[in-house]
Amino acid sequence: MNSVDLENVTKVYGGSTPSVDDLTLTVGDGEFFTLLGPSGCGKSTTLRMIAGFINPTSGRIRFGERDVTNLPPHRRDTGMVFQNYALFPHMDVAGNVAYGLSMRGVAKSEKRSRIDEALAMVGLTGYADRRIDQLSGGQQQRVALARALVIQPSVLLLDEPLSNLDAKLREETRAQIRQIQQRARTTSVYVTHDQSEAMAMSDRIAVMNAGVLHQVGAPREIYRRPATSFVARFIGRSNVLSGTVEEAGTERLSVRLDGGEVLQAPVSEGTLSARVAGGDAVALSVRPETMRIEAVPEGSGTVVGGVRATVRMTEFTGSSCVIWLRYGDEDLLATIPDTDDLPEAGDEVLLRPDTARTWVVAP
Amino acid sequence: MTLTARPAAATAPKPRRNRLQLTASDRFVYVLAIPLVLILLVYIVFPMIATVFTSAEDGGAAYADFVSGNSRQALVLSVGISLASVLTAGVVGTGLAVLLTRFSFPGRSVLKVFALLPLALPPLIGALSFYYLYGTSGIIPRVLAEVTGVPASSLSFDGIAGVMLVHTLTMYPYFYLSVSAGLSGSDASLEEAAMNLGASRSTMWRTVLLPMLTPALVSGALLTFMVSMASFTAPQFYNVNTLTMRIVAAKTSGAYDLAAAQSTVLSVVSILFLLLMRWYQNRRLTRSMSKGTPQTVKTVQGILPQILAAIGSAVIVLVLAAPVAAIVLLAFTVNGTWTTQIIPPEYTLQNFIDIFTEPRSLRPLLVSSQMSAVAMAASIVVGVLTAWVIARWKGKGAGVLDLMIMLPWALPGTVVGINIVTAFASPTPFNLGQVFLGSLWILPLAYFIRFVPLVFRNAAASLAQIDPSVEEAAQNLGAGPLRTLRTITLPLMARGVIAGALLAFVQGFGEYVASVVIYPARFVPLSVEIYNRQYANDLGTAFAYGSLQVLAILIVLIISEVLEKPGRFTRRRRRTGDIAETAAATAA
């Protein structure tokens, strides 16, 4: 069992605010698990604690049944791919890949075949004798991957391994990493700040901000049912409207926005929507593509199920139109299919969110 | 699964703190630090303290002596000469730097090579060649006397003027190197921006370039001042009673407490300057932010200016090359034949043949190379490990260790000699019962103390170029701390360390200032032998030895140039000030 367990892991550097605050999560055996968040959220610190380069201030880290909290990095049997690859510049490709095998006392003949195998896996057959500075960035990245995988680590750790590649190569490589991981079924922890990368590659994602874990879930779940307003905003684009719960039913709940309008959202067992009661402060996440734009009805009072906003700007992007709006003090965003009668800047419109896809989040 | 922002904090029991906060590599750093700290304490710090104690033995009588006697005048003289040297070396060095980075003229490339030649002059033989070039019985005054009819003695550089001449022509590289680095590092677009905004060329220099050059000028000035305060060989030949001269005189006459008091005063001045320099370097923030627009070089136009520039460069090149040329010329002189002629009348290869065939003449060469090799080996071990420990030490201790190992760099060689004499004369708990006075080990010890900062600096610079994640990668793949150091870190540091070690070796090979204070009668080092031969009028042999020292320095400089080419392993270029500082370690 090569699972990874973090239990109440906290890391405090000199100051009083923890870099990682009481983090508990489990990475399943063979899972591709991503730590996602903006820079400084503690994801890299978490990964480095798993690798053993940083010791947690408190809490335990386990690989399966094995407690590795106080184990030095060289005895943890993880394979790490570093952001800048950290290849040994004084060794050739084969030397780099062989390094971990030598540390494990693998016999010479076996070493040779395993190096060849690893290089073949990343598509670098025939590159064994190359010097590191003769390789392109993408090739270096794959050497780093081969070096980490050849030792058949119990856990594969990847620290933003794609961030130094150009956009096209990044997409090719992420597909490749995912394929290799699925073939080897190596438990993998991947760190990135790029949400689309996380969505495309991961079995599950942990979203972190300022040292705090906000949500763990499959990519689709996190997108559709964000737990907090931070997750809603960080994953994809979202309009987050704050308000208070007016009525909590079993199927639906009504939220009165700070501007006075009332919107509804579905209730789902085991989530925040099922736990809130009347009077609780919450926020609603409304994705831009789930809003319709209508003309403001005559004899205006408060409209149930819609908010009034003023159009600030419209953008035609080809397949759709992006409309920037102002609602009270907030900027809202709606994407609608292209149409001939777009509203113009200054128009007042009624925004009507799709109730089924509106979601209650922690403010 | 977490659904609200902070649920776990409210529900989880108070997490227990981990007892073990240090990772394995952290602990390894501290384990390694202990012996290093011990070595630096015993060989660098305690000897300084021993000198301070010796100076205060008679309840401060030595200091009363210092203030009332001629030591005070010597201190004033040393400071005066040093300030004047800063001025003259500053003018020459900055002038050359501006000329060579901003103007293109016939002879520029040749001049650029020769501008660094003073760095190849070993301290003793360098001062000696100036003496025989510009002194009372020097070649130049004799030529001028022949031409003008004025007596040579009134055309020569003697006394303080002689010292100033040596200082100016050997110390200007500190300004030249730092100002050239500053000028070529500055971004042309900044100057263009200033002029685009309406600044005239002179206003631009005053408001943009000069403020940006301030760091280079300040570090050049501090370096020159320190090296000049430590200067001993030039005052010795021109018989100028600087503080360093007084120290040696006091020690020779057996007044150990006075010598110690003088050393203490000189140490305090030097260390203050070291601290001032570090403070200034850490403070300076002016760095060019943009990617850089190449500097434009102004070409000298017109036939007449070009001819004048060519003649000017030729003259400067001649002046800069003269000391080395004189050393080589005099090395072939038949001993005792040069009396009143302009240049020596008879030449021979015999001096070199004698050095390598007569055991008595070969001995100083062997003594210096062996002593220096031992010191180099020790410097490599201590310098490299200290650099590594400092780079990986998370905490305040790193700064202390750094200061400890860099201290000798600020100390004049004379003071290092006195420190060793006072600390290792009799067994005490502080020197761990070791007595080195008169022993085989005293010269290696002195060379180690003086030149370990050089190896350390080079090691630290090459270490700074290694990405720390490379070490982490090795550990991640299963290598323990020691194995990581051996298989990854040390191989990557090798080039820089070898360059630094060779430099340390060649400095030990030519060392004179500390040697003359401490050398045991049985082991006369090369530079002391040069002095003795010169004194005995064996001028040819003295300069033959000297030319071997120059040759050794040139070889080492060429090797380090090759080694320190921006290597294929390096992450970033080394800091610009470093070159000048490394150069300063070679001075005396």
ipTM of the complex: 0.81
Residues A107 and A239 in one domain: no
Q: What is the pLDDT of residue A274?
A: 85
Residues A184 and A274 in one domain: no
Distant-in-sequence contacts of A200-205, Cβ < 8 A, 24+ apart: A200/A174, A200/A175, A201/A32, A201/A34, A201/A174, A201/A177, A202/A32, A202/A33, A202/A34, A203/A28, A203/A31, A203/A32, A203/A33, A204/A31, A204/A32, A204/A33, A204/A34, A205/A33, A205/A34, A205/A36
Greater confidence (A117 vs B13) lies with A117
Looking at the partner chain, which of A69, A100, A230 has a beta carbon nearest the beta carbon of B478? Answer: A100
Indicate yes or no: CB of A87 within 8 angstroms of CB of B473: yes
Residues A78 and A214 in one domain: yes
Indicate yes or no: CB of B12 within 8 angstroms of CB of A88: no
Looking at the partner chain, which of B6, B17, B492 has a beta carbon nearest the beta carbon of A58? Answer: B17
Q: Which residue from B241, B242, B413, B234 is spatially nearest to B323, judged by alpha carbons?
A: B234
Mean pLDDT of B490-496: 89
Q: Which residue from B267, B172, B178 is spatially nearest to B214, judged by alpha carbons?
A: B178
Q: Which residues on A lie below 8 Å from B6 (Cβ)?
A: 212
Q: Which residues on A lie below 8 Å from B475 (Cβ)?
A: 52-53, 72-74
* pLDDT digits 0-9 by tens, B88-139: 999 999 999 988 888 888 888 888 888 888 888 888 898 999 998 888 888 8
Greater confidence (B436 vs A76) lies with A76
Tell me how far apart the alpha carbons of residues A181 and A178 are, in angstroms, rounded to a whole number: 5
Indicate yes or no: CB of A53 within 8 angstroms of CB of B23: yes
Indicate yes or no: CB of B469 within 8 angstroms of CB of A86: yes
Furthest CA-CA distance within chain B: 102
Q: Which residues on B lie below 8 Å from A63 (Cβ)?
A: none
Gap from B335 CA to chain A (nearest CA, Å): 53
Indicate yes or no: CB of B15 within 8 angstroms of CB of A103: no
Indicate yes or no: CB of A70 within 8 angstroms of CB of B8: no
Q: For all residues of chain B together, what is the average pLDDT?
A: 82
Q: What is the pLDDT of residue B15?
A: 47
Residue B143: partners with Cβ closer than 8 Å, 6 or more residues away: B342
Residue with tokens 């050739």: A92
Fold annotation for B23-284+301-584: MetI-like fold (1.10.3720)
Tokens of A233: 């905003």
Indicate yes or no: CB of A80 within 8 angstroms of CB of B473: yes
Q: Which of B2, B489, B572 should one mutate to test binding to chain A, selecting the residue with the greatest count of A CBs within 10 A?
A: B2
Q: Which residues on A lie below 8 Å from B483 (Cβ)?
A: 103
Greater confidence (B522 vs B58) lies with B522
Cα A141 off chain centre by? 21
Looking at the partner chain, which of B5, B23, B467 has a beta carbon nearest the beta carbon of A86? Answer: B467
Q: Which of A45, A90, A267 should one mutate to test binding to chain B, selecting the residue with the greatest count of B CBs within 10 A?
A: A90
Tokens of B344: 């020596």
DSSP A28: P
Q: Are B568 and A89 in contact (CB under 8 A)?
A: yes
Q: What is the CATH number of the domain that holds A284?
A: 2.40.50.140
Q: Parallel, antiparallel, or unpaired: how do β-strands B298-299 and B103-104 relate?
A: parallel
Indicate yes or no: CB of A88 within 8 angstroms of CB of B488: yes
Q: Are A215 and A308 in contact (CB under 8 A)?
A: no
Q: Which residues on A lie below 8 Å from B469 (Cβ)?
A: 82-84, 86
* pLDDT digits 0-9 by tens, B424-437: 887 887 777 777 77
Looking at the partner chain, which of B6, B476, B568 has a beta carbon nearest the beta carbon of A212? Answer: B6
Looking at the partner chain, which of B18, B475, B569 has a beta carbon nearest the beta carbon of A69? Answer: B18
Q: What is the CATH number of the domain that holds A8?
A: 3.40.50.300
Looking at the partner chain, which of A10, A55, A84 has a beta carbon nearest the beta carbon of B20? Answer: A55
Q: How far is CA B107 from CA A361, B14, B222, B296, in A?
A: 76, 77, 31, 18
Indicate yes or no: CB of B470 within 8 angstroms of CB of A87: yes
Q: What is the pLDDT of residue B434?
A: 77
Indicate yes or no: CB of A24 within 8 angstroms of CB of B479: no
* pLDDT digits 0-9 by tens, B562-583: 876 654 444 444 444 444 555 5
Mean pLDDT of B189-213: 77
Indicate yes or no: CB of B21 within 8 angstroms of CB of A80: no
Tell me how far apart the alpha carbons of residues A357 and B344 are, in angstroms, rounded to a whole number: 102
Mean pLDDT of B321-326: 90
Gap from B569 CA to chain A (nearest CA, Å): 6
Q: What is the pLDDT of residue B284?
A: 57
* Full strand arrangement of the beta sheet holding A4-11: A20-27, A4-11, A58-63, A66-67
Residues A126 and A11 in one domain: yes
Indicate yes or no: CB of A84 within 8 angstroms of CB of B479: no
Mean pLDDT of A74-93: 91
Is residue A139 pLDDT above 50, yes or no? yes
Instruction: Give the least confident one: A117-131, A336-350, B507-521.
Output: A336-350
Indicate yes or no: CB of A74 within 8 angstroms of CB of B18: no
Is residue B9 pLDDT above 50, yes or no? no
Gap from B9 CA to chain A (nearest CA, Å): 7
Is residue B58 pLDDT above 80, yes or no? no
Residues A329 and A184 in one domain: no
- On the 0-12 / 13-18 / 19+ scale of CB atoms within 10 A, A280 is middle
Indicate yes or no: CB of B5 within 8 angstroms of CB of A214: yes
Q: What is the pLDDT of residue B186?
A: 67
Percentage of chain A beyond pLDDT 90 is 55
- Range of A236-250, B20-34, B60-74, B190-204 with top mean pLDDT: A236-250
Mean pLDDT of A24-50: 94
Tell me how far apart the alpha carbons of residues B256 and B51 are, in angstroms, rounded to a whole number: 9
Q: Are B569 and A90 in contact (CB under 8 A)?
A: yes
Residues A342 and A259 in one domain: yes
Indicate yes or no: CB of B469 within 8 angstroms of CB of A22: no
Q: Which residues on A lie below 8 Å from B479 (Cβ)?
A: 74, 99, 103
Indicate yes or no: CB of A133 within 8 angstroms of CB of B1: no
Residue with tokens 């020691």: B482
Indicate yes or no: CB of A227 within 8 angstroms of CB of B478: no
Is residue B190 pLDDT above 90, yes or no? no
Residues A111 and A205 in one domain: yes
Mean pLDDT of A340-350: 85
* pLDDT digits 0-9 by tens, A169-210: 888 888 989 998 998 899 999 999 999 999 999 999 999 999
Q: What is the pLDDT of residue B488?
A: 93
Residues A181 and A84 in one domain: yes
| Domain count of the fold of chain A | 2
Size of interface A-B (CB pairs under 8 A): 136
Residues A216 and A344 in one domain: no
Indicate yes or no: CB of A74 within 8 angstroms of CB of B9: no
- Binned at pLDDT 50, 70 and 90, residue B288 comes out as very low
Gap from A132 CA to chain B (nearest CA, Å): 9
Q: Are A36 and A200 in contact (CB under 8 A)?
A: no
Q: Are A361 and A228 in contact (CB under 8 A)?
A: yes
Gap from B535 CA to chain A (nearest CA, Å): 52
The DSSP line for B528-578 is HHHHHHHHTT-HHHHHHHHHHHHHHHHHHHHHHHHHTS--TT-SSPPPTHH
Q: For all residues of chain A together, what is the average pLDDT?
A: 90
Q: Which residues on A lie below 8 Å from B481 (Cβ)?
A: 72, 74
Is residue A52 pLDDT above 70, yes or no? yes
Q: What is the pLDDT of residue A340?
A: 78
* Single-letter residue type at A143: V
Q: What is the pLDDT of residue A312?
A: 92
Residues A252 and A168 in one domain: no
Residue A239: domain span: 229-361
DSSP B152: G
Gap from B472 CA to chain A (nearest CA, Å): 7
Is residue A114 pLDDT above 80, yes or no? yes
The residue of chain A with its CA nearest to that of B570 is A89
Is residue B185 pLDDT above 80, yes or no? no
* pLDDT digits 0-9 by tens, A245-285: 988 888 889 999 888 888 989 988 888 888 888 888 999 99
Looking at the partner chain, which of A56, A133, A151 has a beta carbon nearest the beta carbon of B18? Answer: A56
Is residue B541 pLDDT above 50, yes or no? yes
Gap from A63 CA to chain B (nearest CA, Å): 15
Residues A312 and A213 in one domain: no
Q: Parallel, antiparallel, or unpaired: how do β-strands A252-257 and A330-337 relate?
A: unpaired
A211-244 per-residue burial string, b: 16 or more CB within 10 A, e: under 16: bbbbbbbebebbbebbbbbbbbbbbbebbbbbbe
Tell me how far apart the alpha carbons of residues B55 and B387 are, in angstroms, rounded to a whole number: 33
Looking at the partner chain, which of A59, A99, A227 has a beta carbon nearest the beta carbon of B477? Answer: A99
Q: Which residues on A lie below 8 Å from B9 (Cβ)?
A: 21-22
Q: Which of B477, B487, B568, B570 should one mutate to test binding to chain A, selecting the residue with the greatest count of A CBs within 10 A?
A: B477
Gap from A69 CA to chain B (nearest CA, Å): 9
Is residue B291 pLDDT above 60, yes or no? no
Please say which residue of A224, A239, A273 terminates a domain: A224
Looking at the partner chain, which of B2, B5, B18 has a beta carbon nearest the beta carbon of A55? Answer: B18
Domain boundaries, chain B: 23-284+301-584
Backbone angles phi, psi at A317, to 5 degrees: -110, 10
Residues A170 and A38 in one domain: yes
Gap from B252 CA to chain A (nearest CA, Å): 53
Q: Which residue from B534, B578, B584, B526 is spatially nearest to B552, judged by alpha carbons?
A: B526
Indicate yes or no: CB of A212 within 8 angstroms of CB of B5: yes
Q: Are B17 and A57 in contact (CB under 8 A)?
A: yes
Q: What is the pLDDT of residue B25?
A: 61
Please say which residue of A224, A258, A290 terminates a domain: A224
The CA-based dihedral angle spanning residues B57, B63, B68, B69, taken in that order and rounded to the nearest 10 degrees: 70
